[in-house]
A and B are shown apart, each in its own frame.
Chain A
Amino acid sequence: MSLLVNAFDGLAFGALLFVLAVGLTLIYGMLDVLNLAHGALYMAGGYIAYLLLGGASVSLGLWAGAALLVAALGVALGGVLSAAILPLRGRGHLDQALLTLGLAILLSEFLLGVVDRGFHTLPPPDGLDGSVLGSYPLYRVAVIAAGLVIGGIVYWIFERTRAGALVRAAVDDPGMLAAIGVNVARVRLSVMLAGCGLATFAGVLGLPLLNLRAGLDSEVLVLALIVIVIGGLASIRGAVVGALLVGQVQTVGVALAPELAAYLLFAVMAAVLLWNPSGMFGRAR
């Protein structure tokens, strides 16, 4: 029974991680840019929502509105990030990753300057602040539902629409895509913007789970990186499986082997890499 609760809880964290990591994996897979600002975008989402809502309990409608507004701001930040990376195109992974890291530090320090360096949280919206079955927080159920919906939408766009086919084609062979007349730069930009929007959205979704604080950006970035290393680059399915696996390792795994808690995640990552160096759904690059 207790393990069942652990597993369910792992689902909630997996859902949150998926929303965060799916953008990171697509951006890396398509633009070949390891966006180390992804954690800072998550953090920005949380802090902006906190500024908008003032840390008070609000109605679900207001909450959702704030989340959408924050996602839109994330899209704008994605635009800034794209513009900043543009001059470094073709300069190699390290230069680009360092640039995003620098921007991440700027962004997170700016947020800490605007709010403060202390701890902050936001309670779940009204109606989602109770618990189910006696003692399971309702909000976590809502996070799972939100993860399912967003995951479903992302999967549908990616696998079932023309836009998604263009994105996959741009991962497979951007040169060939250009050779059939498609503006690959525009496809890439869309992915960048959508990925950044999702990252900031995840920051709102995760607010009642992970409190706002200095260092939050690198904490979630590491988790998202582990997700895509496990799942493989540029794979939606990989992001789903990676996020769910990390969620389960962090809950069921920890409950089964608490004394190994600190190493479990890295052990799983190492095991996956030994089995397939490009991740569970990755391809050799």
Chain B
Amino acid sequence: MMLTVQNLTAGYGTAQVLHGADLTLDQGRAVAVLGRNGVGKTTFVHALMGLVRPSSGSIRLAGRELSGLDTRRIARLGVRIVPQGRRVFRSLTVAETLEISRSPGEWTVERVYQIFPALAARRRHRGDQLSGGEQEMLAIGRALLGNPRLLLLDEPSEGLAPRLVEELGVVLAGLRATGISVVLVEQNLRLALEVADEVRCMVKGRFVYGAAAGEFAGDGAAIAAYLGVGS
């Protein structure tokens, strides 16, 4: 098992958001974490990255306990995040961002430019001069250059034009083949189902539903119950 999360609780200040979340994920598999707004999806991936300190529970990555480690240690162990809102370094150029994100492995700056030719054309531009789509590509490229074992994606399609969402789907779907495990938080159901092997639905800080992606796609009742769409 690449990732095993058990009974994870976390929150901000006194407000607890995660109330015992469990999740397992095999190497090279992608799981989509779905749920309505405010159920704790972002907190979940933040806890995996150490951006929020879990208050209890366990996160094991290839047998190694991550809970309690700081963000940098977790990153060093092979976890990367593409955060909500992209959080690109606004004063760094594309080239600089990719340069400081580099680590030894299969993913190189050239390879990132290959999958995102738009970035190559903008390599001398600063983060705050990029379009939303370009920022998303940069955030993904930044994460991939860490050659992660586990990639966390938080709402990557947010604010993107439909054509870009499609391109994004192709890139993300291709990642599984490279052996990266992916946790994808996504509101766009089509994209989620295109990328993920499995689906987990979250309600009030817990996972309450799990199914293969194809199975979930056909379960209209579950979609209506957990996402509130199509009803």
Contacts and interface: CB of A to CB of B under 8 A. Distances in A.
Contact of A169 (B71, B75, B76, B92): B92
Nearest to B143: A180
B178 to A, nearest CB: 18
B51 interface: yes
Contacts of B72: 178-179, 181-184
A171 B103 contact: no
Interface in B97-114: 97, 99-101, 103
B53 interface: no
Given A178-B75, A184-B72, A168 B146 contact: no
A162 B103 CA distance: 14
Contacts of A180: 75, 80, 100-101, 142-143, 146
A56 to B, nearest CB: 46
Nearest to A176: B87
A183 B71 CA distance: 10
Contacts of B142: 180
Interface in B75-133: 75-76, 80-81, 83, 87, 89-92, 96-97, 99-101, 103, 127
B70 interface: yes
A185 to B, nearest CB: 9
A166 B91 CA distance: 11
B109 to A, nearest CB: 13
B71 A173 contact: no
A270 interface: no
A165 interface: yes
A229 B210 CA distance: 54
Interface in A5-51: none
A100 to B, nearest CB: 26
Contact of B83 (A162, A169, A176): A176
A184 B76 CA distance: 13
Contacts of B90: 172-173
Given A168-B89, A181-B75, A175 B100 contact: no
Interface residues of A, number: 18
B89 A179 contact: no
A168 B91 contact: yes
B153 interface: no
Interface residues of B, number: 25
B103 A168 contact: no
Given A162-B99, A169-B92, A172-B92, A179 B81 contact: yes
In this complex, which of A176, A179, A182, A184 has the most chain B Cβ atoms within 10 angstroms of its Cβ? A179
Contacts of A168: 89, 91-92, 96
B32 interface: no
A3 B99 CA distance: 47
B100 A166 contact: yes
A28 to B, nearest CB: 16
A168 B92 CA distance: 7
Contact of A181 (B89, B99, B103, B127): B103
B49 interface: yes
Given A172-B90, A172-B91, A184-B72, A179 B51 contact: yes
A173 B76 contact: no
A178 B96 contact: no
Contacts of A179: 49, 51, 71-72, 75, 80-81, 83
Contact of A175 (B71, B80, B103, B127): B71
Contacts of A166: 100
Contacts of A171: 91
Nearest to B75: A181
Nearest to B93: A165
A178 B87 contact: no
Contacts of A184: 72
In this complex, which of A162, A173, A183 has the most chain B Cβ atoms within 10 angstroms of its Cβ? A173
Given A169-B100, A179-B75, 19 more contacts: A162-B99, A162-B100, A165-B97, A165-B100, A171-B91, A172-B89, A172-B92, A173-B87, A175-B87, A177-B89, A178-B71, A179-B51, A179-B80, A179-B83, A180-B100, A181-B75, A181-B76, A181-B146, A182-B100
Interface of A: 162, 165-166, 168-169, 171-173, 175-184
22 contacts: A165-B92, A165-B96, A165-B97, A169-B97, A172-B89, A172-B91, A172-B92, A173-B87, A173-B89, A173-B90, A175-B51, A176-B83, A176-B87, A177-B100, A179-B49, A179-B75, A180-B80, A180-B142, A180-B143, A180-B146, A181-B76, A184-B72
Report the 5 A-B pairs with minimum CB-CB distance, sorted nearest first. Answer: A181-B75, A165-B96, A178-B71, A172-B89, A169-B89
